[in-house]
A = this chain, B = another copy of it.
Amino acid sequence: MPEKFIIAIDLGGTNLKIALIDLGYRIINKVSLNTRKFLKKKELIAAINSYIAELIKQKRISKRDILGVGLGLPGPVDAAKGLVHFFPNLPGWKNVKLKQILEKITRLPVFLDNDANLMSLAEARVGAAKGARYAVCLTLGTGVGGGIIIEKNIYRGANNASGEIGHIPINEKGPRCNCSGIACLEAYIGNNSIGRQAKKLFKRNISLEELSALAKKGNSKALNIWQGVAEKLAVALVGVVNLLNPDRIVIGGGVAGAGSVLFDKVREVIKKRAMYVQGRHVRILKARLGNDAGLIGAAIMVRENIPNAKY
């Protein structure tokens, strides 16, 4: 029997990534496109379809060798129904039956979920949360996303809207958040907020990469910023730890690149402020899968949704 593959797609506000992945979750071939080139829904769907054909052709395999298509999406979706509710950063996607549309056009089984859930699934199966029964995964970026793993599966909540760790308030009063909440974690430690703090302190624009590099060299201003970020993140995580008593918390995304300056402080604050049993038990780990976590999670979703496929 010929080898089987999965098409994994990661639609972000900036990049659209389409990959051919094998059943060992290795990325065989990948294209990365600018999402802004396909702002219209129809164009994006057509592009997905033609790039799938292209990846198959390049690898010289047939469509019958593809188990299915998995999509990670930047907003609330109904994974069971294959429905996109909306994308906060991409207009024109309200209540789209994307699974149905793509199955018709690609003639392949299609599964979808939001990107934070798929990142969490990937870390739970083959990453830093592997083997944990209860895990909470975060991606720190422009937004602060999250996913919850319970009994080794994604916990979805009543409306597929769980896991919003970025929108846990860490103060009674504080800055207004994009979600219209007040004092949400994201309002303090989203990339834009860190960038603003850094600009104030350094009197110039400074990237998060540079800020991480400066901290690693011992620059005290940069260290201050990261420790402040870590303290705020830890306050939200103390609540998560006391509420959910997870085995592990996995932190990924750009900000996690700050490394031990961030992680050491987060661990210290959780140890100090969380309840004894929960705080001593939980392990705080860096995500292992990096930028491809969403693609790998999409592939895992496809494989787990077609458990009896002959492969």
Which residues of A line the B interface, CB within 8 A?
Answer: 76, 85, 133-134, 146, 148, 150, 155-165, 167-172, 179-182, 231-232, 235-236, 238-240, 242-247, 273-278, 281-282
Inter-chain contacts of A281 with B (CB < 8 A): 158-159, 161
In-complex Cβ contact of A164 among B146, B246, B247, B278 (8 A): B278
Q: Once the chains bind, are B275 and A158 in contact (CB under 8 Å)? A: no
Given known A-B contacts A162-B243, A239-B239, A244-B157, A274 and B181 have beta carbons under 8 A apart: yes
Given known A-B contacts A134-B157, A274-B181, A168 and B239 have beta carbons under 8 A apart: yes
Q: Once the chains bind, are B277 and A159 in contact (CB under 8 Å)? A: yes
Inter-chain contacts of A231 with B (CB < 8 A): 172
CB distance from A166 to the nearest CB of B (A): 8
Given known A-B contacts A181-B238, A235-B172, A163 and B243 have beta carbons under 8 A apart: yes
Give Cα distance in the complex from A273 to B171, angstroms. 12
Q: Once the chains bind, are A246 and B171 in contact (CB under 8 Å)? A: no
Q: Once the chains bind, are A150 and B148 in contact (CB under 8 Å)? A: no
Inter-chain contacts of A165 with B (CB < 8 A): 243
CB closest residue in chain B, given A239: B168
Given known A-B contacts A181-B238, A240-B243, A275 and B167 have beta carbons under 8 A apart: yes
Q: Once the chains bind, are A245 and B158 in contact (CB under 8 Å)? A: yes
Q: Once the chains bind, are B238 and A169 in contact (CB under 8 Å)? A: yes
Among the interface residues A150, A162, A242, A246, which one has the most CB atoms of the partner chain B within 10 A? A242
22 contacts between A and B (CB under 8 A): A158-B245, A158-B282, A159-B277, A160-B245, A161-B275, A162-B243, A163-B243, A165-B243, A167-B238, A167-B239, A167-B274, A169-B170, A169-B239, A169-B273, A172-B231, A179-B275, A180-B275, A181-B238, A181-B273, A181-B274, A236-B239, A243-B243
